[in-house]
Structure 1
Amino acid sequence: MKCMKKVLFLFLLLAGMTNVYGQKFAVKSNLLYDATATINLGVEMGLSKKWTLDLSGNYNGWKFGDDMRWKHWMVQPEARYWLCEKFNGHFLGVHAHYADYNVGGIKFLSKNMENYRYQGNLYGAGLSYGYQWLLSNRWSMEAVIGIGWAHLDYDKYPCASCGTVQKSETKDYFGVTKAALSIIYFIK
C-alpha cells in the first residue's frame, strides 16, 4: 500500500508539472496490454526540447477460472531522449520497473507456467528504442522495445489454486523488459 501511495504521489506531481517546459503533455494506452485485458495508463510530459518523462502503469486483477491467474500491477518510469524533436520520430530511453504478480495455470507460455503458480515481485532497469508517428495535432502512435534486467523474488506453488508454498526463489532475468504499441492523445 505504501508503494501505491508513492506511485499516486509521483503521478499527481507529474500531472501538476505540465507547463514546466514545452506545450505538450500526453496520455496513452498500450494496445499490447489492452489485448491481455490489462488496465493501463501512461502519461508523458516534455522536460526540455529533446527530453521527456514517461510514466506508465498497469493492473490486471482478473482470475480466469480456477486454474488460470494473470494478476499483477506494474509501474515503469522512463526518461526519453528524442533524436529530432520531442514527441516525433526516433527516441532512446532509460527505464526502471517494479511489479507485484500472482500468475500461473497459463498453458501458452511454458510448461512451468502451466503447472505452477508464481507469486512475488520484480524490479529492474533497461534501455529502450522507440518511434512515434504523428497522426494529427492531438493524436499519435508509438512503438517501443526495451531490453534490460529484472530481479524476481517469488514463491512457487504446485498449482494455480493451491495454497502451500513449494519453494521460495530469486532469479535474475536478462531480456525484453519493455514492449509497447500505444495510442497517444496530447493535452496542450
Structure 2
Amino acid sequence: MIRKIVITIGLVLTIGFAATAQQVALKHNLAYDAILTPNLSLEFAMGKKLTLDTQVGWNAFIFNLDVAESNYSETKWAHWMAQPELRYWFCDVFNGWFLGLHGHVGQMNVGGIDIPFVLENKDSIMKDHRYEGWFYGGGLSVGYQWVLSTRSSLEFSLGAGYARINYDKFPCQRCGTKVDEGNANYVGPTKATISYVFFFK
C-alpha cells in the first residue's frame, strides 16, 4: 500500500515540475483533516478555463488495540485515496466559481463505523465489523475560490457521486477470520474542500 501511495505522489510531482509553463498551486484540504486524514494536492492550469486538481490523502494512524485498556476503541479508519479532478472555471482559472468532474480510487481498512448511503449489502451491524478492500468511482462538484493575494487563495467545494466497493468482512475490528466478501454501491457525498491554496509562479 505504501509503495502505491509513493508512486502516485511521485507521478503527481513529476507532472507538476514538467509543467513549467503553467501556473501550479499547492493545496491543503482542511475538510479532509476533519476526518483525520493528512493530505496534499497539486493543481495545474491547462489554459484560460481548465485546471487539473490532484488530491491525495492517506490515513495510517493506529488506534489503541489493547482491549484491556480503558481507552480501547474499536474504531478503525485506515485508508488512502487519490482523487483527480478536471475543473472548468467560469471566470479565470483559480478565481471564482468552477464545476468539477472527479474520479477516485483507494484502499481501506475500516471498522466500527456505520457508513451512510451504501445501497446494498448494508445491515444494522455494519459498525460491529471490520472491512478491508478497494473502492473506485467518480462524481461532480461545484466550488468557489477567493483570491487572497497573488500567492494564495481559499477554496470551498462540495461534490457527490458514486463509488463501487469491493471488500472482505471480518467479525471484529482487531482480529478474526474472514467471514464474508462482497461488493457494495455507494451514492452520496464524495468530495468536500476547505483548502488553503499557495501558488508557484
Query: Shared topology, TM-score over 0.5?
Result: yes
The one of 80, 98, 103 aligned to 1:96: 103
Q: CA deviation at 1:113?
A: 4.9
| Aligned-residue RMSD, C-alpha | 2.0
SS of 1:11's equivalent in the other structure is helix
SS of 2:134's equivalent in the other structure is strand
SS of 1:63's equivalent in the other structure is coil
From the two aligned structures, give the one with the greater strand fraction. Answer: 1
Task: Give the letter for the 2:166 counterpart.
Answer: D
Q: Which residue does 1:30 correspond to in 2?
A: 29
Aligned residues with identical type, % of pairs: 44
Query: What is the alpha-carbon distance in structure 2 between the residues aligned to residue 27 and residue 36 of structure 1?
Result: 20
Query: What is the alpha-carbon distance in structure 2 between the residues aligned to residue 167 and residue 127 of structure 1?
Result: 32
Task: Give the letter for the 2:194 counterpart.
Answer: L
Task: Give the letter for the 1:7 counterpart.
Answer: T
Alignment length (residue pairs): 186
Please list every run of 5 or more consecutive structure 2 residues that lacks an aligned counterpart in the other structure. Answer: 66-73, 117-122
**Could you tell which deviates more after superposition, 47-56 or 161-170?**
161-170
Task: Give the letter for the 2:19 counterpart.
Answer: T
Contact 1:20 1:47 in 2 (8 A): no
SS of 1:160's equivalent in the other structure is coil
Q: Which residue does 1:80 correspond to in 2?
A: 87
Please list every run of 5 or more consecutive structure 1 residues that lacks an aligned counterpart in the other structure. Answer: none
Query: What is the alpha-carbon distance in structure 2 between the residues aligned to residue 56 and residue 175 of structure 1?
Result: 19
Q: Which residue does 1:47 correspond to in 2?
A: 46
Q: CA deviation at 1:32?
A: 1.4
Q: Which residue does 2:15 correspond to in 1?
A: 14
TM-score by length of 2: 0.85
Contact 1:58 1:73 in 2 (8 A): yes
TM-score by length of 1: 0.90
Query: What is the alpha-carbon distance in structure 2 between the residues aligned to residue 151 and residue 71 of structure 1?
Result: 18
Task: Give the letter for the 1:17 counterpart.
Answer: A
**Could you tell which deviates more after superposition, 110-119 or 162-171?**
110-119
SS of 1:49's equivalent in the other structure is coil
